[in-house]
A = this chain, B = another copy of it.
């Protein structure tokens, strides 16, 4: 059969024909009702060939959908390999294997708690963990190496304690502030996170709607499941959005993206600088492995052929430019009027350099603990940065944000007391969205607002501008304490005290 041009296709392809191309030698797949010849692309697939071969000759849409932005095939597969429309009626519906894990998950979904039972951001995570698909959960919840930085991010807030003031009139509490000139209801924004459709079929636009409702800013991710325009379109009039940017090796592509974002009304350009290479996340890798190979003894188990299919993160990020450097900053300043913020700064030296380079802000961040394990938490870096800036009188020359580990309004207050303009929150809203959709995101934001108002009162401030360093005690913040390992024998032989025993049953 001959396909001269898939653009001018007359006859739809049949499932039967496609099914013949089910091997490494000739591999066709169907995505969204169209067929593609990916034989030559197999070795280049960032996610590895295995996962494609699983769908060789079949419909791959369900697996493909959440991980690939809508324009992926156009961008990465030569037009000549686009084979054209398929008559989906001729495609055999594959009977799904019974999957006891999936059945158990469906059971958990039936019994999931109702939304009102979520009283804080952790609760959404607890529910999401139960009801999300294993691979989706692994992608969202995983961090670098031993996930020590990931957990430290929230832990670090535990080292900061309050010194509240009493007898302050807090009848009226105003939690609003501004970020890069935009007025917002509360000092957090929805930070960029990839692959929203893993959690909810609608994807990132749900976050757009939640952000609108609570008047906070959404940062649009480069690696969204929805296309950039879909997310912009979902915003209402006057709603502020920012763009998170992974810089492409091809600067023309980057320029096009930036100019387009500015045209669509984005009010800030957040250039990610902590990810010259996207991290290894073993939870993610392990979840994927199980999917495609758990029952097959590897035929070639020499170390040589280390399987490069390392989870979703690596699969979607091969375009990122690891040579990006300070030299590129003037160019960015030249191509856009949007304020430019460096996202992922991790020490005071680089904050100073950022100021000197003329950018408008920094996000002290370790990428949610997903990149370098043992990177310090944003809040700890903030405590290092601010005294140095204040000494130089530079504290107002840029806006400083942090992200990572924010789960409570007290976390936000601590950051603002230390000198941050606001904080980014990512995973918690993903979990709320994954578990409950828009109502989940809505309630998550409302809970934060409720906590914020109450805690402002309890710390004795009626206004964001009153938050200042004398309200917190950060003496413990910089210590990285790891205990002396205990002696197993001693621990085991100690006979612990017990409380009063109830009477024996008669």
1/0 contact string of A313-356 vs chain B (CB within 8 Å): 00000000111111011000000000000101111011000000
A283, CB-defined interface residue at 8 Å: yes
Residues of B within 8 A of A8 (CB): none
Set of chain B residues within 8 Å of A494, measured between Cβ atoms: 151
Proximity string of chain A (277-310) to chain B, C-beta cutoff 8 Å, 1 when within and 0 when not: 1011011011001100111111001111011000
Q: How far is the CB of A402 from chain B (nearest CB, A)?
A: 15
| A window 228-283: CB within 8 A of B | 273-277, 279-280, 282-283
Q: Quick one: which of B108, B170, B297, B480 contacts A323, CB cutoff 8 A? A: B170
CB contact under 8 A between A457 and B277, given known A111-B503, A152-B485, A499-B126: yes
- Structural contact, A303 and B122, CB atoms closer than 8 A: no
Contact A458 B280 (CB under 8 A): no
Q: Using A165-B347, A169-B323, A277-B454 as known contacts, say yes or no to A117 and B500 having CB atoms under 8 A apart.
A: yes
Known contacts being A479-B481, A481-B484, is A113 close to B497, with CB within 8 Å?
A: no
For residue A146, give the distance in angstroms from its CB to the closest CB of chain B.
4
Which residue of chain B has the shortest Cβ distance to A249 in the bound complex? Answer: B171
Q: A276 to B171, alpha carbons, bound, how many Å?
A: 8
CA distance A349 to B283 in the complex (A): 44
A303 in contact with B114 (CB, 8 Å): no
A174 on interface, CB distance cutoff 8 Å: no
A111 and B505 contacting across the interface, CB-CB below 8 Å: yes
Is A439 close to B, CB under 8 A?
yes
CB-CB < 8 A to A488: which residues of B?
A: 146-147, 496-498
Question: Could you tell me if B301 and A497 are in contact, using CB atoms closer than 8 angstroms?
Answer: no
Interface residues of A in 465-506 (CB under 8 A from B): 470, 473, 475-476, 478-490, 492-505
Partner-contacting stretch, out of A18-26, A175-183, A370-378: A370-378
Q: Which chain B residues lie closer than 8 Å to A119 at the CB level?
A: 280, 282, 285-286, 500
0/1 interface trace, chain A 150-185, chain B, CB 8 Å (1 if under): 011011101111111111111100000000000000
B451 touches A280 (CB 8 A): yes
Residues of chain B within 8 A of A504, CB atoms compared: 111, 294-295
Q: How distant is A434 from chain B, measured CB to nearest CB, in Å?
A: 14
List chain B residues, Cβ under 8 A from A170: 276-277, 322-323
Q: Which residue of B lies closest to A137 (CB)?
A: B495
Query: Which stretch, A60-68, A87-95, A442-450, touches the partner chain B?
Result: A442-450
Within 8 A of B (CB), among A126-155: 126-127, 129-130, 137, 141, 145-148, 151-152, 154-155
Q: In the bound complex, how far is the Cα of B147 from the Cα of A166, in angstroms?
A: 21
Q: Across the interface, do A375 and B164 meet the contact criterion of CB distance under 8 Å?
A: yes
Q: Is the CB of B165 within 8 A of A443?
A: no
**A146 (CB) vs chain B CBs: closest residue:** B487
Contact A376/B112 with A117-B500, A303-B440, A447-B306 known, Cβ cut-off 8 Å: no
A165 & B276 in contact (Cβ 8 Å cutoff): no
Query: Known: A479-B479, A480-B473. Contact between A485 and B161, CB under 8 A?
Result: no
How distant is the Cα of A307 from the Cα of B482 in the complex, in angstroms?
38
Please give me the residue from chain B that is nearest to A353 by CB atom.
Answer: B167
A44 within 8 A of B: no
Residue A123 interfacial (CB < 8 Å): yes
Chain B minimum-CB-distance residue to A307: B116
A168 to B146, CA, bound (A): 25
A497 touches B282 (CB 8 A): yes
A384 to chain B, nearest CB (A): 9
Nearest B-chain residue to A297, judged by Cβ: B114
Which B residues are CB-close (under 8 A) to A122? 487, 489-490, 493, 499
Q: Is the CB of A458 within 8 A of B277?
A: yes
B residues in contact with A483, CB < 8 Å: 155, 481-483
The yes or no answer to A3 lying at the interface (CB within 8 A) is no
Instruction: Say yes or no for A118: interface residue by CB 8 A criterion.
Output: yes
Nearest B residue (CB) for A164: B346
* Residue A408 is within 8 A (CB to CB) of chain B in the complex: yes
Query: Which B residues touch A326, using CB under 8 A?
Result: 167
Given A162-B375, A298-B115: A495 and B283 interface contact (C-beta under 8 Å) = yes
**New contact pairs (11) apart from A148-B485, A151-B494, A481-B483, CB-CB < 8 Å:** A111-B502, A112-B502, A114-B298, A141-B495, A162-B346, A171-B322, A295-B504, A303-B439, A303-B440, A475-B480, A479-B479
Nearest 9 A/B pairs, CB to CB = A303-B442, A476-B480, A303-B443, A126-B499, A113-B500, A117-B500, A151-B485, A372-B458, A171-B323
Contact sample, A vs B, 5 pairs, CB 8 Å cutoff: A119-B280, A126-B500, A166-B346, A473-B480, A481-B483
